[in-house]
């Protein structure tokens, strides 16, 4: 009886370890986007740095007025931590920042 219990416990422990998220997968990828500029942010894109094109606009139909902030989850499901950001301001000005580690950065401010 004890032998069966120990065997079942070992199997359960092995299964739990194999399903535990890796350190990169367990990271928080939420970033607070802060508009500290004098211009409205009309779109914001965050793409895995390994991609060659921009993902969809995270703000969608919304905008981020000067002085506003929003918390966004930049988890694309791949376990990646490094992303490129594209911010488009009212008037068309584009601000690109490459190689942002969203597992380490919790705030991204546009000035």
Model confidence, pTM: 0.76
At 21-77, the pLDDT tens digits run 444 455 789 999 999 999 999 999 999 999 999 999 999 999 999 999 999 999 999
Dihedral over Cα of 23, 29, 30, 36: its sign: positive
Domain membership flag for residue 79: yes
Q: Please tell me the number of Cα atoms within 13 Å of 52 on its side-chain side.
A: 0
- CA 88 to chain centroid, in Å, comes to 18
Number of domains in the chain: 1
Domain membership flag for residue 47: yes
Q: What is the CATH number of the domain that holds 79?
A: 2.60.40.2890
For residue 40, give its domain range: 24-110
Does the pLDDT at position 3 exceed 60?
Answer: no
CA distance 53 to 11: 44
Domain membership flag for residue 9: no
Domain membership flag for residue 14: no
Domain membership flag for residue 43: yes
Domain membership flag for residue 96: yes
Token pair listed for 14: 């092995």
> Is-contact 78 49, C-beta < 8 A?
no
CA distance 89 to 29: 23
């Amino acid at each position: 009886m004890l032998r069966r219990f120990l065997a079942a416990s070992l199997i359960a422990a092995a299964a739990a370890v194999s399903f535990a998220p890796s350190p990169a997968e367990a990271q928080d990828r939420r970033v607070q986007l802060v508009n500290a500029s004098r211009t409205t942010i009309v779109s914001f894109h965050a793409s895995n740095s390994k991609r060659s094109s921009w993902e969809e606009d995270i703000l969608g139909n919304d905008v981020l007025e000067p002085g506003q902030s929003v918390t966004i989850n930049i988890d694309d499901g791949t376990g990646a931590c490094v992303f490129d950001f594209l911010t488009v301001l009212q008037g068309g000005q584009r601000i690109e920042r490459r190689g942002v580690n969203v597992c380490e950065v919790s705030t991204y401010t546009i000035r």
